[in-house]
Amino acid sequence: MGLHFQSDLDAIIQSLSLEEKISLLAGKDFWETVPVPSKGVPAIKTSDGPNGARGAGFIGGTRAACFPAAVCSASTWNPKLSRLIGNALAEETRTKGAQVLLGPTMCNHRHPLGGRNFESFSEDPLLAGKLAAQVVTGLQEKGIAATIKHFAANEQETERLSVDEIISERALREIYMKPFEIAVKEANPWAVMTAYNKINGCHADAHDFLLKKVLRGDWAWKGLVMSDWGGTNSTAASLNAGLDLEMPGPTQHRQLKAVKEAIESGELSETTVDERVRNILELIKKVGAFENPEIPPEKSIDSPEHRELIRKVAGQGLVLLKNKENVLPLKREDVKGKKIALLGLAKEALIHGGGSASLNAHYRISPWDGLQSAYGDDVEFVFAKGAHTYRQLPPLSSNCTDSSGKSGWLLELFDRGNLEKPTHTENGYKEAAFNPIGGFDSKWKDVRLTTTFVPDITGQHYIASSGMGPTSITINDTLVFEQKGDIEDPMAFLLGGVAEKEFQYPFTQGVSYQIVIRSSPPGGGGDHGGILAGLQGFRMGFMYDVEHNKDLVSQAVDAAKECEYAIVFTGHTPVWETEGQDQLSFNLPKEGSQDKLVEAVAAVNSKTVVVNSTGVAIAMPWLSKVAGVIQAWFPGQEAGNAIADVISGAVNPSGRLPISWPKRIEDAPAYGNFPGNSKNGQLTVHYEEDVFVGYRHYDRVSNEKIQFPFGFGLSYTTFSLKDASVSPVTGGMYKSTVTVTNTGKESGATVVQVYVGRADRSKKHPIKTLAAFEKIFLEAGQENIVELEVNSRDFAYFDETSGSWKLDQGRYCFLFGQSTADIEVKAEVKIEGDEKIPL
């Protein structure tokens, strides 16, 4: 950092009054920082998120490019693509008038039910760190600040605002902080976002060990630390620990009075305030906002280059998990004139998960669209849905009339506790749902919706309801539903993923029913709900029983019988896999409907292929009965085209799993310690598996517990490894080489994976640890020598006694393979004496 840069900031800081400095310590609004125009300090704008720059709108909003989710990008094992994604995300961020992107997300996949796993790269810290570092580099070389998140250990969504995670320092250093360390040291991100959760009793935003000892101390990082949205929990403590910026604004914990009182009491010094302000000003400087302070309006620019990149990344990220008797690819010339059944979620484009990763995509290519485009008129496609997959009944809207005679509902807002005089009324409100960001000022308001409903059909029809706060439904003055308390996580409600209990009510065709919904905001004030505290939201879903109970499986079975091939599309829509809550089940939703569909189709068609779109491993009770399986993840807006590329053979699959895939949830290493146990209102989760996460655990147990190993993936060709060698070079580095041959008849790619482990195994240490990798493309029959550098730090362990990284003397095996279970060749080195490695 140059002297001129420093002197400019010194002059600004000296010119600011204490009140102006304090004003800078929190956001102005949901996305922007506070400006001080009289002193030349501009505001800067942030934007979600990890797989696309959404802009300011949570619902709808400016259209944006939707890139593959991080877990899909990680499946490419291709850092070069990650850098290109960073470049493209920077360009997208600028179109939204923002200078700071809130990503990448880089916490580890600790457990398959983690609700936000899809946003993160891998269970392995080296793979996650290397890929995230390239995203950061790609963003920042285009002038956009990356914000690596969530520091640290945000591996679950259950009670995420308050859960206390008990983790050893060794596990923190080797597993949960290591991706951040790699990104910090290799790419120098300009911002870090803290996590909501507690670690060992202290919230991450005020955690001296995380922020002072490690981030700014051991790693010598200089940059801005911001809170997650609503994740600031104190005034003096967070400022002293190093949290520069509370987001969003207006502030909850850094009001002028609170900060001044902390200074006057001696809890906080003005010098500390100056340090926090300096980091904020430095970020403003880095993104060029002093020179160009304008925040332009948002634009939607659909770039052909971005389209091409998204399709390429998705194509390399899809993982072929099973291909019995080479059922795939279905080359156009081979299936010409045949019928193919496209079942399940074939007409839905599962392009992203829910929450910060969701956005209003430029377009969404479904598998149905992609396959129609790939095969044209050469193939006849037959569709059947085959399974109920909705999570919530649709809001009641049809056949409703309000008191003025308009179609819809009467909406009334009241001051809290006063239902006599509404502060706002609206006739013709369209449906039985109220969103807290739906355009009304609903904070601390009670809401009432009233309508007259006349059903078309007689029957025991289905109703389900939920609210952010206490909510009730009456039909003809009879109470039929009551939620007495607040919802556990209001963000989950906002994102549409709340599980609701369905119940039935008798309706008669043509009869009028007076329906009244009453709802209050989450009660008690305080911090409940984080940034959504006090906001109003509720919904009432409805479905006729004939629709609810319709037999969809039989339709799919009939379609599969008449076709040569059956492709069943399964997965999670955004409401099933989302920020705000962890998943309910290891099995596909809803209530086994998708598993039943696959089983039934496979029973009548021996050429059944499953294409699954989830961000996590799932149970596959039907695996032995199907011919092929593709794991498609959430591949972005080009989803259908990328899937069609792999199915048709236009792209030879080269994705490799960045996670281990257990057969049963009971086999996961964190099973029994996820999401934790509550005592006296505090949820605590003990990371009892310590460093034995993912393959580090499965290497130590029976192979029968693994469905697919870490690093696994099939191709339409085959590869072999031979002639491995390892030699030490300077600075704790090792040079390793191996010969790779494409032994098949198609051009393609594999990932060379180098693991290192002790020749003499120890129960205290993993059997092997990923230490290097490289993706290599080869023509049929081609042979290449691949050279990989291995850093001794990447197979060292953290010794808590000495507080340092350490390598014990002894023999170490360098293992070369194409997955953790497919080690083909190895080489051995000897370390003569114990080595301590600097922090």
| pLDDT tens digits along 244-285 | 999 999 999 999 999 999 999 999 999 999 999 999 999 999
By C-alpha distance, which of 11, 149, 830, 30 is closest to 494? Answer: 30
Residues 109 and 154: beta-carbon distance below 8 Å: no
Domain with residues 400-543, CATH architecture? Sandwich (2.60)
Enclosing H/E stretch for 828? strand 822-831
pLDDT for the residue 496: 75
pLDDT for the residue 818: 98
Higher pLDDT: 488 or 170? It is 170
Beta bridge partners, 798, equal: 805
Q: Of 228, 582, 667, 794, which one is the catalytic site residue?
A: 228
Q: How far is CA 552 from the centre of its chain?
A: 31
CATH of 719-837, one of 2.60.40.1120, 1.10.10.10, 2.60.40.10, 3.40.50.720: 2.60.40.10
Domain positions in the chain are: 16-286, 314-389+550-656, 400-543, 719-837
| Mode of pairing for the β-strands spanning 733-742 and 783-791 | antiparallel
By C-alpha distance, which of 571, 135, 640, 82 is closest to 361? Answer: 640
pLDDT for the residue 3: 45
| pLDDT tens digits along 788-806 | 999 999 999 999 999 999 9
Mean pLDDT score, 427-445: 82
The Cα–Cα gap between 825 and 639 comes to 36
Q: Is the pLDDT of residue 181 over 60?
A: yes
**583 band by pLDDT with thresholds 50, 70 and 90:** very high
pLDDT for the residue 526: 40
Domain with residues 314-389+550-656, CATH architecture? 3-Layer(aba) Sandwich (3.40)
| Mean pLDDT, all residues of the chain | 95
Q: Is the pLDDT of residue 511 over 80?
A: yes
The percent of residues above 70 in pLDDT, for the chain, comes to 97
Q: Is the pLDDT of residue 141 over 70?
A: yes
228 is catalytic: yes
pLDDT for the residue 7: 65
Mean pLDDT score, 523-551: 80
Provide CB contacts within 8 A for 743, sequence distance 6+: 717, 718, 719, 720, 781
Residues 66 and 51: beta-carbon distance below 8 Å: yes
Query: What are all long-range contacts of 801-809, with beta carbons under 8 Å and residues at least 24 apart?
Result: 802/836, 803/839, 804/836, 804/837, 804/838, 804/839, 805/173, 805/836, 805/837, 805/838, 805/839, 806/834, 806/835, 806/836, 806/837, 807/831, 807/834, 807/835, 807/837, 808/758, 808/834, 809/833, 809/834, 809/835
pLDDT for the residue 530: 61
DSSP for 108-168?
Answer: ---STT-TTGGGS--SSHHHHHHHHHHHHHHHHTTT-EEEEEEETT----TTTTT-EEE--
Q: Does domain 16-286 have CATH number 3.40.50.300?
A: no
Q: What are the backbone angles phi and psi of residue 485, rounded to the nearest 5°?
A: -110, -170
Question: Angle at Cα 788 formed by Cα 782 and Cα 794, nearest 5°?
Answer: 145
Provide CB contacts within 8 A for 832, sequence distance 6+: 809
The Cα–Cα gap between 479 and 499 comes to 21
Residues 124 and 699: beta-carbon distance below 8 Å: no
Whole-angstrom Cα Rg for the chain:
28
Same fold, 16-286 and 400-543: no
DSSP for 227-261?
Answer: --TT----SHHHHHHT--BB-SSS-SS--HHHHHH
By C-alpha distance, which of 461, 464, 465 is closest to 546? Answer: 461
pLDDT for the residue 1: 45
The Cα–Cα gap between 300 and 56 comes to 13
Render the burial of 786-824: b for 16+ CB within 10 Å, e for the rest.
bebebebbbbbbbbeeeeebebbeeebbbbbbbbbbebb
By C-alpha distance, which of 603, 574, 739 is closest to 116? Answer: 574
pLDDT for the residue 492: 77
| pLDDT tens digits along 814-839 | 999 999 999 999 999 999 888 888 88
Q: Is the pLDDT of residue 298 over 60?
A: yes
- What letter represents residue 284's amino acid? I
Q: Is the pLDDT of residue 125 over 50?
A: yes
| pLDDT tens digits along 210-249 | 999 999 999 999 999 999 999 999 999 999 999 999 999 9
Q: Is the pLDDT of residue 418 over 90?
A: no
The Cα–Cα gap between 673 and 686 comes to 6
> Which of 53-67, 132-146, 310-324, 611-625 shows the lowest per-residue confidence on average (mean pLDDT)?
53-67
Local structure of residue 419 (DSSP, 8 states)? -
Provide CB contacts within 8 A for 827, sequence distance 6+: 724, 725, 726, 736, 813, 814, 816
The Cα–Cα gap between 106 and 122 comes to 8
The Cα–Cα gap between 39 and 18 comes to 13
Residues 626 and 594: beta-carbon distance below 8 Å: no
